[in-house]
Structures are given as structure tokens and as C-alpha cells.
């Protein structure tokens, strides 16, 4: 719904994945969004800032959750660059899912975990939508990842599974 700049050309060798509304389109119909959300390694933040500045973006931040915002001078969509030092992020960025535009999106299991950890209303609604149409085996694998990296959120995950089933129908 919004033009996405060539982030790979801007960031060069810095590894990144889509998160947020645009990442959803790799798995489900995308929802309206007015920004681009990406995630990079925390250790790459300074290099990413330099790359966006060299590409003519104005930088603001820091974000309270880690990272910064890159604003295009032509008033294009802001790019929220979130940083991660989570132990699971290496696997997530090493095995992205390509979205319909060929951009690297966070793998479904880790996107679900990231959104569950964010805990905002929209993120929790996204979790429900990500669960739609998933098999019992996929849900068990997702639950395993949640229990491995965010044990305090397992109950929330289970509740969202129930809500997804109520809204969209039971798992396959």
C-alpha cells in the first residue's frame, strides 16, 4: 500500500528483515500501514545510521524499544529501524521468508514471537491473523518457540490461539 524504498541498496551488507505490517504480506493479506518496519542486529545500528544518512535520510530517535527512524526527504514513508540482540534473531535473519515483492520478511514463527513480545493491541491482532489457517503442528512449533524464548508469554499465546479459533475457525 506504500512504496518501499530499496532497503538492500541502502544497507548493503547489513542484514535486515521486514517486521510490522509489511512483513504480514508474506503470510496473510497485508493490512494498511503508513510506515516500513525493519529489524537489524543491535551491533549494526551505527553502520545502518551511517548508511541511511549517506542515502539522504534524516534520522531521529532513539526509539524506546531500541533503534531509530529514517525519514525520506521526499516525505516518503518513515522507516522504523528496530534493533535486536535477541538470541533467536540470528536464526530469523538467516532464514527469511520472501514476501510477494521479494523482500526478506521475518519468518512466521519469529514474527509471531516478536509481535507477542511487543504486546501492542495491533501486534496482538496480528498474532491472531498469523495463526489463522495454521495447522496444529505449526501451532505446537510456535508454542515451543514462545516457551523457549518468552516463557512468561505462553499463557498469552494460548489465549490468542483460542481467540483466533473463535474468530477464524479451528486449526486445520
Digit-coded pLDDT (tens) for 5-41: 899 999 999 999 999 889 999 999 878 888 999 999 9
Residue 1: predicted pLDDT: 55
Residue 65: predicted pLDDT: 85
| Average pLDDT of the segment spanning 52-69 | 92
C-alpha cell at 144: 515451543
Taking alpha carbons only, the member of 2, 1, 23 closest to residue 99 is 23
Torsion of CA 146, 17, 130, 68, to 10 degrees: 80
Rounded Cα–Cα distance for residues 72 and 55 (Å): 9
Residue 6: predicted pLDDT: 93
- Please write the tens of the pLDDT for every residue from 108-162: 999 999 999 999 999 999 999 999 989 999 999 999 999 999 999 999 999 999 9
Residue 171: predicted pLDDT: 67
Please list the alpha-helical segments (H only) found in 6-66: 7-11, 20-24, 45-54
Taking alpha carbons only, the member of 105, 4, 79, 90 closest to residue 44 is 90
Asked whether residue 172 carries a pLDDT value surpassing 70, the answer given is no
Amino acid at each position: 500500500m506504500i512504496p518501499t524504498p530499496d532497503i538492500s541498496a541502502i544497507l548493503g551488507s547489513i542484514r535486515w528483515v521486514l517486521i510490522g505490517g509489511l512483513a504480514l504480506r508474506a503470510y496473510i493479506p497485508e493490512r494498511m500501514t503508513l510506515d516500513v518496519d525493519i529489524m537489524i542486529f543491535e551491533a549494526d545500528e551505527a553502520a545502518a545510521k551511517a548508511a541511511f544518512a549517506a542515502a539522504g535520510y534524516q534520522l531521529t530517535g532513539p526509539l524506546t524499544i531500541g533503534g531509530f527512524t529514517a525519514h525520506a526527504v521526499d516525505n516518503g514513508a518513515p522507516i522504523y529501524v528496530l534493533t535486536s540482540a535477541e538470541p533467536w534473531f540470528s536464526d530469523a535473519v538467516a532464514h527469511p521468508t520472501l514476501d510477494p515483492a521479494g523482500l526478506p520478511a521475518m519468518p512466521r514463527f519469529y514474527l509471531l514471537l516478536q509481535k507477542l513480545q511487543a504486546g501492542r493491541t495491533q501486534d496482538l491482532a496480528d498474532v491472531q491473523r498469523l495463526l489463522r489457517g495454521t495447522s496444529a503442528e505449526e501451532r505446537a512449533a510456535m508454542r515451543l518457540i514462545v516457551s523457549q524464548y518468552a516463557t512468561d508469554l505462553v499463557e498469552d499465546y494460548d489465549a490468542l490461539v483460542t481467540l483466533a479459533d473463535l474468530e477464524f475457525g479451528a486449526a486445520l
